[in-house]
Structure 1
Amino acid sequence: MHLSRYLLRPLSAAIGKQLEHYSQFQPSSLSIQQYLDFGRTGNVTSSYIFLKKELLVRLANIMQEIALLPPELLRMSSCRLVNDWYKESFTDLLRYEQAPPEKQFMDSFNDELQKVLKRHSHVVETMAEGLIELKDAHGIDIASERSIQYFLDRFYINRISIRMLMNQHLLLFGSVLPESPRHVGCIDPQCDVEVVINDAFDNARFLCERYYLTSPNMKLEAINSVSPAAKIQLVTVPSHLYHIMFELFKNAMRATVEHYGVDQDLPNVRVTVVKGREDLSIKISDRGGGVSRTILDRLFNYMYSTAPPPPRDGAQAPLVSLSILLSVPDVVDLSY
């Protein structure tokens, strides 16, 4: 609690008290079906009433967890900047705590959500820069690494959920237009999985060819065991699926090109999509040399990557997104 009080010192006593109050609540657990149902039958008033409290709860929980990070990391300038962003967002949204569901307040609330989304657009990179600062300045011992790993797992998942809530509200009741008339907010009830995969592959291949001047092709096999003649569709957020596939394709392409060389015929990246009665599986296989068993347990460690160290002079790095270079798991970056 000493660290918590230290981090709260710049806040006024009243706001600090509110932060302690909201951090006592647990965030609501929402399924994608609940998102769909509310998107089809809900209204702006009920969404506003729910969201103005729910966001305060989630922000307060994140800030309390930030306060429990190792003191050396909390002193890094990038980490302090992230913490300041969350303080600012909590303070801004707190103004609507007692605001009634009237049009002027709800419109102002939507504008505030847009500002919060923009303010937090670089949280992932900035937090990761804080880790790089810590490693360069002090190094990271095993105990601190485990603590940071646990925190970042929760931190990034919470960030996804907060952005999902805000984006869904703005798409349904704000001025933001959905990508397709079929979408319910940011959710596509009939997402064509093959289309998303092909889109992610094409964009990853563009980056690969720009850097290496070559790229492997993809061989896609889709098996719908429920309706063999039908397309494979999924109720999901297409941008989430795209982001995961895009990161995995970049990893597969980089491994393949670096294993075989730019002057060789490259084997295909193979993708198998299987839809069963209860789930859908996507398997990506490449012939990039594989991963040593000695590092398998480190693949999801935020402080480990097989990619080269990030250039500090702004130079282009080999087919690795900024989020991957800045200390997120080497297998997949879920921090969209």
Structure 2
Amino acid sequence: MKISGRLLATLAQGCVRRTTERDHLARRFEFYACKHNPTPLTLGGYLKFGQNPCQQKSFKFLRFELAVRLANMLKEIEELPKDLMNTSSADLVHRWYEESFRELMEFENASSSDQSVLSEFSEALEKIRSRHSTVVETMAQGVMELANSSPDGVLEDATRKDIQYFLNRFYISRISIRMLINQHILLFGNQLNQERRYIGSIDPHCDVLEVVQGAYEDAKGLCDLHYCITPKLDIKCFNPYEQGEPIQMVYVPSHLHHIMFELFKNSMRATIETRSNVTDSDLLPHIEVKIFKGKEDITIKISDQGGGFSRDQLDLMFNYTYTTASKPSADHHTPFAGYGYGLPLSRLYAVYLNGNLDLAPVEGHGTDAYVYLKTLSQAASELLPVFNKTTAKYYNSPIPVADWSNPSHTTGLTTFLSRTYCTKTSNQ
């Protein structure tokens, strides 16, 4: 079969053009990944901008900041064990992020004064958000594929260390990226914000008691479905500096709901399964919640009588894929427990805005969980992973290093955060 000289020339030009585009994209990737760090924002900064929003400013900030955060994430993915990245699920996640970075680059030099460009940018963000909607589950599937490929179904210690370190940073980066995208879409996109008092996804007067009660009711519905009984809730609020006032704060209600929903599910399951002969909710010990508002911290304490666990197991509670529940069957569309991601992800939602989640078990009795959130919106600063030489060194170190995924290592926590996370904040 003969190919004309003109067609050959056209094909050659196409190859050159594609090669040039790939080279350009690679250079931009290195620029954003190696020469820039993510810029942490505060809830106060989000709120201030959202009260007087400017679509052009948001466009110019996001096309740069999202590129930096995506590039840092992609750089870190390259350090993962090759066996994990060779799984179909992890490879799919990798390609999703590459595609999203490429789409952002299409707006790198676009005019911010062109309304059609601004509209296209909002549509692109909606597309990116939709593409990444199942990232958590897909990456979890990749880890399971890797474990199942080993002879005994157990990952090596060094591999588990790398994956634990990566997933904490990867998922918190994902939370931050979705936060940026959601704010822009809710302020400027086609999606109507149903909550009029909200600024994007932020409630300037988030009623903590209301969110906690809503999370309990949602967990109760799921618990009733699976166990037919549910422990009752006792809840008290303490607001010593604002006597008689409800406990309110500037916060993202969906984040707090996620944290409390997972904690309630754990407490309910533990309480019920340690009393397998009880069939009446009135005979179950109540789950007790106390909410405290201080000058700097809002603390939520959740106490159950679910039997607790030993302190030796405390480190495992925040490890991905570790769970004390049986794996859910394939026909469970809304499994009550079994995947092992509830506590680790809940902790990340708290840590993301400079809070925390701690557990205090009493073996043979029950468990207290403490959720710490910042009272002041300016103190609620994003905690963002930064890819640097220290990060690469961690992945290449054969000796496990204490990091903040291990809640018992407070010294490791301080060192880890100071070396590999952004702490300098910006008000956008």
TM-score, normalising length: structure 1 = 0.91
Aligned to 1:294: 312
Contact 1:303 1:329 in 2 (8 A): no
Structure 1 unaligned regions, length at least 5: 1-8
Matched, 1:333 2:351: no
What residue identity is the alignment partner of 1:15? L
- Counterparts of 2:274 and 2:336, CA distance in 1: 14
- Mapping 1:83-102, distance limit 5 Å: 83-101=94-112, 102=114
Aligned to 1:63: 74
Deviation at 1:104, TM superposition (A): 0.4
3-state secondary structure, aligned to 2:346:
coil
- Counterparts of 2:137 and 2:331, CA distance in 1: 14
Aligned to 2:126: 114
Matched, 1:319 2:336: yes
Matched, 1:271 2:289: yes
Contact 1:128 1:327 in 2 (8 A): no
Aligned to 1:12: 22
- Mapping 1:134-153, distance limit 5 Å: 134-138=146-150, 139-153=154-168
- Counterparts of 1:334 and 1:88, CA distance in 2: 29
- Mapping 1:8-87, distance limit 5 Å: 12-24=22-34, 25-87=36-98
Contact 1:39 1:184 in 2 (8 A): yes
Structure 2 unaligned regions, length at least 5: 1-18, 350-428
Aligned to 1:170: 185
- Counterparts of 1:314 and 1:13, CA distance in 2: 46
- Counterparts of 2:336 and 2:178, CA distance in 1: 26
Contact 2:223 2:229 in 1 (8 A): yes
Distance 1:330 1:307, change over 3 A: farther
Contact 2:232 2:286 in 1 (8 A): yes
What residue identity is the alignment partner of 1:176? Q
What residue identity is the alignment partner of 1:285? S
Deviation at 1:234, TM superposition (A): 1.1
| Structure with the larger RCO, 1 or 2 (CA within 8 Å, 6+ apart) | 2
Aligned to 1:234: 249
Contact 2:263 2:343 in 1 (8 A): no
Distance 1:254 1:331, change over 3 A: farther
- Counterparts of 1:94 and 1:335, CA distance in 2: 29
Distance 1:318 1:124, change over 3 A: closer
- Counterparts of 2:206 and 2:76, CA distance in 1: 35
**RMSD in angstroms over aligned alpha carbons?**
1.8
Moved over 6 A (4+): none
The superposition leaves residues 305-334 of structure 1 with CA deviations (integer Å, 9 ceiling, x where unpaired) of 1121243x33367512xxxx4442546535
Contact 2:53 2:187 in 1 (8 A): no
- Counterparts of 2:190 and 2:84, CA distance in 1: 39
Contact 1:247 1:332 in 2 (8 A): no
Deviation at 1:229, TM superposition (A): 0.6
- Mapping 1:178-193, distance limit 5 Å: 178-193=193-208
TM-score, normalising length: structure 2 = 0.72
3-state secondary structure, aligned to 1:121:
coil
Aligned to 2:421: none
- Counterparts of 2:74 and 2:58, CA distance in 1: 24
- Mapping 1:193-212, distance limit 5 Å: 193-212=208-227
1:305 to 320, 323, 343: 323
Q: Which has the larger radius of gyration?
A: 2
Distance 1:223 1:263, change over 3 A: same
- Counterparts of 1:296 and 1:52, CA distance in 2: 41
Distance 1:220 1:110, change over 3 A: same
